[in-house]
Structure 1
Amino acid sequence: MFKNVIVRVPSKSISEGLTSANEGKPVYSKALVQHENYVSALTKAGVNVTVLEPKDEFPDSCFVEDVALCTSKCAIITRPGALSRRKEAALPDMIEALEKFYEHIEYIKEPGTVEAGDIMMVGDHFYIGLSARTNEAGAKQMIALLEKYGLSGQMVEMKEMLHLKTGLAYLENNNLLVAGEFKTAPEFEKFNKIEIELDEAYGANCIWVNDYVIVPEGYPKVQKKIEDLGYKVLVVDTSEYRKIDGGLSCLSLRF
């Protein structure tokens, strides 16, 4: 069960965020409303939400998931692979927020790069995708830090997705949403895989929060598959975040 969530309000500079989506620039006023609805859904799922102030100098800073990995034993501050995001990981308000919840805070160091959008937690085990943003040096540091606290991790080769969790979502109870290249990845054979079709691939980025699953709006086949598994579903529109390669999991730290 998750007790706490940290989010950051999107900044007015969100339209300058990194993107490969080709869907136009996000509209700040819409992004703000969508973020408020996202926080409302999280609150409905029974967590305490810490809301950090926007940072205009960092257009992607609402995607807080990438700058820290929150585990049951420690928080690990990452070192983002995207240069424009590297200083986000050291923002004082984020460190202070984590210090309220964690006695132990660790850091990924050069030459390692890690964005926690590449990390999927399954109990005490963490799958770490090797992507354009997370390198092997960073993944090895991350695994060593996890092992220091009695947790475990393994690397997953990737070729297509931006982040590991772009195409994977663990919904607890051995249920795993899979899209694209991960449908045939040997690492995930033991899971009950719910395959997501190409036309709704973005919908694979859902989040499980205390028996609710938050699902992006506009992906009815994904929503039905999750409801058929017996989960309570909350739907949140993330269309403005999709324009800058972001989704539901990217917008929060959940622990």
Structure 2
Amino acid sequence: MFKNCIVRRPSKSMIEGITSAPELGKPDYELALKQHDAYIETLKQCGVKVKVLDAMEAYPDSCFVEDVAICTSECAVITNPGAKSRNGEIIGIKPAIEAFFQAENIHHIEFPGTLDGGDVMMVGKHFYIGISERTNKEGASQLISHLNKYGMTGEAVALSEVLHLKTALAYLENNNLLVGGEFITSPIFEKFNKIEISDDESYSCNCIWVNGKVIVPEGYPKTQAAIEERGYEVLIVDTSEYRKLDGGLSCLSLRF
């Protein structure tokens, strides 16, 4: 069960954020703020306390706070984001992490290792780590080394099509796994009860489980129905403006 979440308000500069889908247009900042408000309220409905950090105008992508830290029940790891324009975001996250974790339980990914939190999926005490354009093998190795100190384990997963591991995977606890794209046939995830997401709703692979409820992006009825069929209460949040920056529901918070 999660007790806390950390989020960061979107900056006005988000309209200049990194994107692989310029055809979707630039984000509407005022609408993004309203969607962020709704996101925070939905997290609270799941029974967590939400720490809201101020916007960082110097970093257009800084609302995607998941990428700059890994938070577990016992330790935190501040990452080294793979996109150089995001590296300074780790300075902004450090005080927030220090408010929740003792200094000896805070670790860092050091260069030449790179790691984005969007490439890290927690399944109990085991962590799957995507090797992507943002996360390299050295970064994954450092994370696994830190996790091992606390009796946790990890393994690297090669990506070929998606930006981040959690672009196409979401663990919903109870051995249930949302899976799309290249991971549907991956032998790595054979042991899970897979909920397969069709290509036309691929964005909705990025859902988040929070204390028994599952938050799903707005506009994906087949995904919503499939999750409800497994007995979960579904909460819907519109993330249209964050999708324009390759961002989804998990990207917008640290949950621990």
Hey, what's the Cα distance between the residues in 2 that align with 1:100 and 1:77?
A: 14
Deviations 1:223-253 (A, max 9, x none): 0000110001100000000000000000000
Matched, 1:100 2:99: yes
Paired AA for residue 25 in structure 1 = K
Equivalent residue number for residue 17 of structure 2: 17
Equivalent residue number for residue 169 of structure 1: 170
* 1:62-73 superposed matches below 5 A: 62-73=63-74
* 1:169-248 superposed matches below 5 A: 169-248=170-249
Deviations 1:113-162 (A, max 9, x none): 00010000000000000000000011111111110111100000110000
Q: CA deviation at 1:4?
A: 0.1
Percent identity over the alignment is 64
Hey, what's the Cα distance between the residues in 1 that align with 2:14 and 2:197?
A: 29
Paired AA for residue 35 in structure 1 = H
Q: CA deviation at 1:203?
A: 0.6
Hey, what's the Cα distance between the residues in 1 that align with 2:11 and 2:151?
A: 37
Q: Which runs of 5+ in 1 are unaligned?
A: none
**Equivalent pairs, count:** 253
Q: Out of 144-153 and 120-129, give the one that drifted further.
A: 144-153
Q: Secondary structure at the match of 1:139?
A: helix
Q: CA deviation at 1:73?
A: 1.1
* 1:95-174 superposed matches below 5 A: 95-103=94-102, 104-174=105-175
Equivalent residue number for residue 87 of structure 1: 88
Q: Secondary structure at the match of 1:43?
A: helix
Equivalent residue number for residue 8 of structure 1: 8
Hey, what's the Cα distance between the residues in 1 that align with 2:18 and 2:136?
A: 19
Q: CA deviation at 1:177?
A: 0.2
Hey, what's the Cα distance between the residues in 1 that align with 2:146 and 2:174?
A: 26
Q: CA deviation at 1:211?
A: 0.6
RMSD in angstroms over aligned alpha carbons?
0.6
Matched, 1:37 2:44: no
Hey, what's the Cα distance between the residues in 1 that align with 2:96 and 2:58?
A: 20
Paired AA for residue 196 in structure 1 = I
Paired AA for residue 5 in structure 1 = C
Equivalent residue number for residue 75 of structure 1: 76
Deviations 1:11-61 (A, max 9, x none): 000100000023100000000000000000000000000000001110000
The normalised TM-score by structure 2 is 0.98
Deviations 1:201-221 (A, max 9, x none): 001100000011000000000
Paired AA for residue 192 in structure 2 = F
* 1:46-57 superposed matches below 5 A: 46-57=47-58
The normalised TM-score by structure 1 is 0.98
Hey, what's the Cα distance between the residues in 2 that align with 1:98 and 1:176?
A: 28
Q: Secondary structure at the match of 2:236?
A: strand
Hey, what's the Cα distance between the residues in 1 that align with 2:82 and 2:171?
A: 24
Hey, what's the Cα distance between the residues in 2 that align with 1:59 and 1:96?
A: 20
Q: CA deviation at 1:95?
A: 1.4
Q: Which runs of 5+ in 2 are unaligned?
A: none
